[in-house]
C-alpha cells in the first residue's frame, strides 16, 4: 500500500509546478533559469530564496530552508504533510488514494485531528441554527445594536449559544466521544458534567486559511465580572499565537486581487465593522500580543501592515514590542492614528468609511509612532518632563535606518519642543547606539562541519547538479563517512547504473524534515546554483576533495590497525599488521602526490 501512496506522490509532483504554487504566496522574479524572492521563512532585504523550476525544489541560500512543493505548502499553510498533499491534490484534481501508509501513531493523530475538526464544524452549524431558531432574542438584539447586516452575519458565520447544556447533549447524540469533545475546546467539565465553554454568548467562529473552523470566540451579552470576550482553549488544531481572525477571507481576497496592505485590528467586532465598510483586507490578533508566527502569516499576503488598535495612546504604547516583532520579520509597519478612546468600529459608526479612510491616509511609520507615543506620556509645558521626552526621543531617532530619516525626525522633534536643530543633532551624535537583535534566529545557520564534511558536500553536489568533471569518476569509488552523504551517494550510484536522470527533488523523501540529516541535505543544496562548478579551479578542487576523502579513509584504517597492533600478543600477526599499515601509508602518499 505504501507503494501506491509513493506512486501517487510522484504523479502529484509531476502535475504540479512549484513555481506556479509558490507564485501564489510570494513575488517571484526570474533570473536566468531560476526564480528568486525574499525568503518567506526569514527576514531579508536582498532575495536569497531560489526556486529551481527544472528540478522542482526551493532553497534559501540565507537560512538554508529547502524542500519540494509539498514541504513549501506545508510551511506556508502551517499544516501537516498529509494536509499539504490534500491541498495540492485538490489543485491538481487528483483523488487521494486509500492506503495503509500511516503508522498506528500517525493514524490515531489523524483520527484525532479529523474528529476534532468535525466536532468544531458541527458545533458551528449548531450555533448558527440557534441564531435562526427564534430563541436567540438577546443575540439578535445585540447584532442589531451593533448594526451588523444579515449578509455579514452569514459571511462570518455568527451563531448563538443559548445555554450551557444544549451543545454537550447535541454532540453526544451525534456519537462523539466525551474526551474528543473536551479536547476540541467547545465543552468543559464542571464537577464531572459537560458544559458549553461559550455558554450564553454570541459566537464568532475562528476559521483558518484552509476554510476549517478551528476555534470559537464568544461575546458575553450580560455584564460579567470577567472578560466580555473569550476564546476556546488551544488545541491540536488551534494555537492563538499562530492564528489570525479573518485569515480565511483574506486568503480569498488574495486570489481575486493583489493585497497592497493588511489592516491589523484587535478584535472580532472591529474586523467585522471594517469588512462591512469595504475594508476587506483586515485581520485581528484577537487581543493577543503579536508573535513571530503571526508576522510570518501576514507576510504571505503583503509586506505592509497598518496597525489600527484602539485610539488610547497609552494602550497602543503597550503594543510596541509586538510591532517590533512585525518589523523584524521584514514587514513595513505603519500605525493608524485614531481619535482618543475610539476603536475602529466606533470610527466607522461615527465617521463612516470615508472618515476611517482619512485615518488610514494618516498612518505613520513605526518610528514616528514611537515618538508620538512618547509625547503622550510627558507634559511638554514642564521643563523637566520635556527634557526626559527629548532624551527618550533621541534614543528612538538613533535607531532610524538612514541619516535622511534621522534628519527628518530631528526636525519633527524640534517643532515639538522648540529646541534648536543643532542642539538636537549634537545630542544625537553623542547618544550611544543600541544593539539591535538579529531579525530572526533562522537567518543564521549553525555549521560545525569539518573540512572533510565540506569536501563531501562539494563532491555530492557536483554529481547532483551535473558538473561536467564529475562524469569521469564513479561515485561508488569514493568513501563517504557521513551517513547522509552515503545515502545520497547510493542514490546517485543507482541512477548511474540504470543510466537514469538524477533528480535532487527525490532526496527530500529520504530524510525527515527538521532532522539533522535534513539539515545536512540543505547544506549540500547551497551549491545548487551551479556557479561553483565552472572552470579549471572548480575541477581541481573536486579532485582535491576526492583525495581528501580517500586519505581520510586510509587514516581511519591505519588508526584501526594501530589499535589492533597494540593489543596483539602474537609476534607474527603483529608483523603482518605493521606490513599492512606500511602499505596503507605508501598508498596514501601516492594519492596525495597524484600518482
pLDDT tens column, 533-571: 888 999 999 999 999 999 999 999 999 999 898 888 888
The burial class, CB within 10 Å (0-12 / 13-18 / 19+), for 425 is middle
Question: Region 327-354: what's the mean pLDDT?
Answer: 88
For the chain, which domains are there? 2-92 (3.90.580.10), 104-238 (3.90.980.10), 241-365 (3.40.1360.10), 378-445 (no CATH), 451-593 (1.10.860)
Q: In the predicted model, what is the mean pLDDT of residues 248-275?
A: 92
Chain centroid to Cα 241, Å, comes to: 12
- Statement: residue 268 has pLDDT above 90: yes
- Quickly list DSSP for 344-388: HHHHHHHHHHHHHHHHHHT-EEHHHHHHHHHHTTS-TTSHHHHHH
How many angstroms separate the Cα of 554 from the Cα of each of 439, 453, 481, 589?
45, 16, 12, 10
Cell of 221: 451579552
> Residue 136 is placed in which grid cell?
436567540
Name the H helices within 399-434: 403-417, 421-430
pLDDT tens sequence across 391-409:
999 999 998 888 999 999 9
Res 246: pLDDT: 97
Longest C-alpha distance within the chain, in Å?
A: 102
**Which set of grid coordinates corresponds to residue 412?**
519633527
Q: Which tops the pLDDT comparison, 98 or 275?
A: 275
User: For 41-58, how does the pLDDT look when each residue is reduced to its tens digit (9 = 90+)?
Assistant: 887 778 999 999 989 999
Q: How far apart are CA 199 and CA 193, in angstroms?
A: 14
Question: Is the pLDDT at 440 greater than 50, yes or no?
Answer: no
Q: Is residue 142 a contact partner of residue 221, using CB atoms and an 8 Å limit?
A: yes
Average pLDDT of the segment spanning 183-189: 96
Query: Cα dist. 414→102, 118, 390, 410, 421 in Å?
Result: 66, 60, 9, 6, 6
Task: Check pLDDT > 70 for residue 178.
Answer: yes
pLDDT at 443 over 50: no
Q: Which of 483, 476, 441 is nearest to 546 (CA)?
A: 476
- Positive or negative, the CA dihedral 235, 239, 240, 246 is negative
* Residues 458-505: tens digit of each pLDDT: 999 999 998 999 988 889 999 999 999 999 999 999 988 888 888 888
Predicted confidence band of residue 442 (pLDDT cuts 50, 70, 90) = very low
pLDDT band at 158 (very low <50, low <70, confident <90, very high): very high
pLDDT-based confidence at residue 529 (cuts at 50, 70, 90): confident
3-state SS string for 265-314: ECCHHHHHHHHHCCCCCEEECCCCCCCHHHHHHHHCCCCEEEECCCCCHH
Instruction: Label residue 300 by pLDDT band (50, 70, 90).
Output: confident
pLDDT confidence of residue 439: 44
pLDDT of residue 354: 94
pLDDT digits (tens, 9 = 90+) for 364-395: 998 998 898 888 889 999 999 999 999 999 99
What mean pLDDT is reported for the chain?
Answer: 88
Q: Give the per-residue pLDDT at 225.
A: 63
Region 414-436 average pLDDT: 85
Amino acid at each position: 500500500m505504501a507503494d501506491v501512496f509513493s506512486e501517487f506522490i510522484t504523479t502529484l509532483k509531476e502535475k504540479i509546478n512549484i513555481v506556479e504554487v509558490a507564485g501564489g504566496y510570494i513575488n517571484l522574479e526570474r533570473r536566468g533559469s531560476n526564480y528568486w524572492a525574499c525568503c518567506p521563512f526569514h527576514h531579508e532585504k536582498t532575495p536569497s530564496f531560489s526556486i529551481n523550476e527544472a528540478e522542482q525544489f526551493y532553497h534559501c541560500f540565507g537560512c538554508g530552508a529547502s524542500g519540494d512543493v509539498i514541504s513549501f505548502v506545508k510551511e506556508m499553510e502551517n499544516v501537516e504533510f498529509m494536509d499539504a498533499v490534500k491541498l495540492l491534490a485538490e489543485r491538481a484534481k487528483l483523488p487521494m488514494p486509500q492506503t495503509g501508509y500511516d503508522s498506528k501513531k500517525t493514524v490515531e493523530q489523524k483520527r484525532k485531528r479529523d474528529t476534532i475538526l468535525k466536532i468544531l464544524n458541527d458545533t458551528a452549524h449548531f450555533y448558527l441554527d440557534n441564531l435562526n431558531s427564534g430563541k436567540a432574542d438577546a443575540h439578535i438584539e445585540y447584532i442589531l445594536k451593533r448594526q451588523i447586516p444579515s449578509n455579514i452575519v452569514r459571511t462570518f458565520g455568527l451563531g448563538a449559544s443559548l445555554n450551557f447544556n444544549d451543545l454537550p447533549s447535541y454532540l453526544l447524540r451525534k456519537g462523539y466521544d466525551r474526551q474528543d469533545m473536551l479536547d476540541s475546546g467547545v465543552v468543559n467539565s464542571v464537577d464531572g458534567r459537560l458544559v458549553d465553554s461559550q455558554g450564553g454568548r454570541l459566537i464568532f467562529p475562528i476559521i483558518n486559511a484552509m476554510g476549517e473552523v478551528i476555534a470559537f470566540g464568544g461575546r458575553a451579552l450580560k455584564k460579567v465580572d470577567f472578560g466580555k470576550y473569550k476564546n476556546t482553549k488551544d488545541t491540536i488544531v488551534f494555537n492563538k499565537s499562530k492564528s489570525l481572525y479573518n485569515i480565511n477571507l483574506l486568503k480569498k481576497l488574495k486570489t481575486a486581487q493583489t493585497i497592497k496592505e493588511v489592516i491589523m485590528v484587535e478584535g472580532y467586532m472591529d474586523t467585522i465593522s471594517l469588512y462591512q465598510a469595504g475594508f476587506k483586507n483586515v485581520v485581528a490578533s484577537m487581543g493577543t500580543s503579536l508573535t513571530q508566527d503571526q508576522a510570518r502569516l501576514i507576510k504571505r499576503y503583503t509586506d505592509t501592515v497598518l496597525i489600527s488598535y484602539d485610539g488610547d495612546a497609552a494602550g497602543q504604547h503597550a503594543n510596541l514590542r509586538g510591532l517590533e516583532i512585525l518589523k523584524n520579520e521584514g514587514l513595513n509597519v505603519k500605525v493608524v492614528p485614531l481619535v482618543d478612546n475610539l476603536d475602529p468600529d466606533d470610527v466607522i459608526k461615527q465617521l463612516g468609511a470615508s472618515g476611517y479612510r482619512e485615518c488610514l491616509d494618516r498612518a505613520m511609520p513605526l518610528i514616528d509612532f514611537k515618538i508620538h507615543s512618547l509625547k503622550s506620556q510627558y507634559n511638554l509645558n514642564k521643563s523637566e518632563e520635556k527634557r526626559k521626552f527629548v532624551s527618550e526621543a533621541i534614543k528612538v531617532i538613533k535607531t532610524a535606518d538612514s541619516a535622511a530619516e534621522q534628519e527628518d525626525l530631528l526636525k519633527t522633534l524640534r517643532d515639538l519642543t522648540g529646541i534648536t536643530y543643532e542642539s538636537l543633532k549634537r545630542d544625537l551624535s553623542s547618544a550611544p547606539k543600541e544593539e539591535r537583535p538579529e531579525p530572526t534566529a533562522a537567518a543564521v545557520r549553525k555549521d560545525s562541519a569539518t573540512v572533510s564534511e565540506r569536501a563531501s558536500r562539494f563532491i555530492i553536489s557536483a554529481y547532483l547538479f551535473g558538473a561536467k568533471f564529475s562524469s569521469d569518476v564513479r561515485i561508488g569509488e569514493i568513501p563517504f563517512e557521513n551517513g547522509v552523504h552515503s545515502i545520497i551517494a547510493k542514490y546517485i550510484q543507482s541512477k548511474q547504473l540504470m543510466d537514469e536522470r538524477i533528480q535532487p527533488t527525490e532526496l527530500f523523501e529520504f530524510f525527515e524534515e527538521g532532522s539533522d540529516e535534513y539539515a545536512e541535505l540543505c547544506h549540500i543544496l547551497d551549491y545548487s546554483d551551479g556557479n561553483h562548478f565552472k572552470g579549471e579551479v572548480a575541477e581541481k578542487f573536486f579532485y582535491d576533495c576526492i583525495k581528501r576523502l580517500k586519505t581520510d579513509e586510509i587514516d581511519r584504517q591505519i588508526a584501526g590497525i594501530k589499535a589492533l597492533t597494540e593489543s596483539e600478543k602474537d609476534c607474527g600477526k603483529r608483523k603482518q599488521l605493521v606490513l599492512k599499515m606500511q602499505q596503507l601509508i605508501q598508498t596514501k602518499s601516492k594519492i596525495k602526490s597524484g600518482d
